[in-house]
Amino acid sequence: RKRQRYVEKDGKCNVQHGNVRETYRYLTDIFTTLVDLKWRFSLLVFILAYAVTWLFFGLIWWFIAYCRGDLEHLEDHAWTPCVNNLNGFVSAFLFSIETETTIGYGHRVITDKCPEGIVLLLLQAILGSMVNAFMVGCMFVKISQPNKRAETLVFSSHAVVSLRDDRLCLMFRVGDLRDSHIVEASIRAKLIKSKQTQEGEFIPLDQTDLSVGFETGDDRLFLVSPLVISHEIDERSPFWDVSRHQLEKDDFEIVVILEGMVEATGMTCQARSSYLADEVLWGHRFAPLLSLEEGFYEVDYGGFHHTVPVPTPACSARQLAAAAARRDAHLYWSIPSRLDQP
C-alpha cells in the first residue's frame, strides 16, 4: 500500500483546509492574501486594480464634462471647458490614465475654471498613489519571497541507519548549491506517525521531535559544504526499540526542516523534505563528496545521494545497548579472576 505523504520531497505540504466558514478572516489581511495567491491570479488582480481605477475616474471625468456642457461646446473657442481637448469617453479615459500615472502628455489639461475637476484631480492623485503603493508592494514582496532560494537547498533522497561510534544513528544529508550562504542555518526533524494513547484516544499524524543536536548546538549549521545530519538512537528516541525487521514493516514519515536567513536579502528561508519508512536504508552510509584539490576543496554533487552498505547490526538500539552492557560486565568480572590466577 502506497502511503500518502504528509510533506512531499520538494517540501510541499499535502494538507488542504476544507469547510472553512470564517472566510472573512482572509479579507482582514488582504495584503497577505494577495501575496499568497498564485501568480496568474496575482497578475489578474494587478491588472484589474489599475484598469478599474482608470475606468472609474475616466467615467467621472466624462460625467463632469457632460454635466458642464463641455461636450456640446467642442467647437466653441470662447468656452472654457473643465479639461481641454476632452471630446468623449475615450479621451476622458486617456486623461484618467495620464493623471494617475503622472504621464502628462500635455494635450489634455485641466483648467482653473473647474473646481469640481480640481477636487477630483486631487482625489485621483491620492488614491492612485495608494493603489500604486499597495499593488507594487504586493508584487515586490511576491517576487522577493525566498521560496525559490529553497530550490537550491537539497536533501538526500534516502535516510540511512548505521553505526557511529558504536551507536546506531539515523542520518540524512543536506547541501546548498549556491555560493551565497544561508546565515544562522538550523535543522529540525519530526517523526509523523499515528498513535493510540493508553486511554484509547487515536491521534492521527502525531508529531514527535527527533533530536539532531539541539542540546549540543549541532543543529546550528555552517552550511558551506554538504553535511550529514545525525540523530542518535538512544533511550529518548522513538526508534529505540525498532530493529531492521520492524523498520521494514513500520509506517511513519520523517519530516526535516532547514531554516535560515538568505545572505543576499536577509529574509528567512525554509526548505522541507521527508522520508517514508521505505526510504530509510538500514546498514548504509553516505558516500564521501569532499576532496582536497590544489588550494581549495571540491564537492562532487554527482554522488550527493549515493550510499554504500556497511556492516550494521540488525537488532534494535535497545538490544545493542544491552549486549554492550553484558559485554562490559563480563570484561569487568573477568579481569580480577585472571589476576587471582597463579
Is 167 part of a structural domain of the chain? yes
What is the residue range of 321's domain?
148-328
Is 338 part of a structural domain of the chain? no
Is 341 part of a structural domain of the chain? no
Q: How many residues does the chain have?
A: 342
Is 334 part of a structural domain of the chain? no
pLDDT band at 342 (very low <50, low <70, confident <90, very high): very low
Name the domain boundary from 144, 170, 187. 144
> Are residues 69 and 167 located together in one domain of the fold?
no
> Are residues 167 and 281 located together in one domain of the fold?
yes
Is 209 part of a structural domain of the chain? yes
> Are residues 174 and 321 located together in one domain of the fold?
yes
Which H helix or E strand runs over 182?
A: strand 182-196
The grid coordinates listed for 166 are: 558504536
Rounded to an integer, what distance in angstroms lies between the CA atom of residue 87 and that of residue 94?
11
Is 226 part of a structural domain of the chain? yes
Cell 549486549 appears where?
323
Name the domain boundary from 128, 144, 160. 144
> Are residues 89 and 157 located together in one domain of the fold?
no
> Are residues 272 and 171 located together in one domain of the fold?
yes
CATH of the domain at 257: 2.60.40.1400
CATH of the domain at 135: 1.10.287.70
Tens of pLDDT along 274-324? 999 999 999 999 999 988 888 888 999 999 999 999 999 999 999 988 888
> Are residues 42 and 172 located together in one domain of the fold?
no
> Are residues 294 and 218 located together in one domain of the fold?
yes
Is 10 part of a structural domain of the chain? no
Rounded to an integer, what distance in angstroms lies between the CA atom of residue 91 and that of residue 97?
10
Rounded to an integer, what distance in angstroms lies between the CA atom of residue 248 and that of residue 156?
19
- How confident is the model at residue 11, as a pLDDT? 85
What mean pLDDT is reported for the chain? 87
- What's the Cα-to-Cα distance from 115 to each of 71, 82, 96, 120, 282, rounded to whole Å? 18, 9, 17, 9, 82
Is 157 part of a structural domain of the chain? yes
Q: How many folded domains does the chain comprise?
A: 2
> Are residues 225 and 322 located together in one domain of the fold?
yes
> Are residues 97 and 181 located together in one domain of the fold?
no
Rounded to an integer, what distance in angstroms lies between the CA atom of residue 167 and that of residue 30?
52
In this structure, the number of other CB atoms found within 10 A of the CB of residue 196 comes to 10
> Are residues 48 and 97 located together in one domain of the fold?
yes
Tens of pLDDT along 163-188? 998 899 999 999 998 888 888 899 99
Tens of pLDDT along 5-24? 888 888 888 888 777 777 77
Name the domain boundary from 144, 176, 203. 144
DSSP for 84-150 reads TT--SHHHHHHHHHHHHTT---SSS-B-TT-HHHHHHHHHHHHHHHHHHHHHHHHHHHHHT-TTGGG
Rounded to an integer, what distance in angstroms lies between the CA atom of residue 229 and that of residue 171?
5
Sign of the four-CA dihedral 245, 246, 247, 251: positive
Task: Look at 16 and 244; give whichever has higher pLDDT.
Answer: 244
pLDDT band at 259 (very low <50, low <70, confident <90, very high): very high
DSSP 7: B
In this structure, the number of other CB atoms found within 10 A of the CB of residue 284 comes to 19
Rounded to an integer, what distance in angstroms lies between the CA atom of residue 98 and that of residue 125?
11
Tell whether the model's pLDDT for residue 41 goes beyond 80: yes
Q: Whole-model pTM?
A: 0.76
> Are residues 128 and 226 located together in one domain of the fold?
no
> Are residues 185 and 130 located together in one domain of the fold?
no
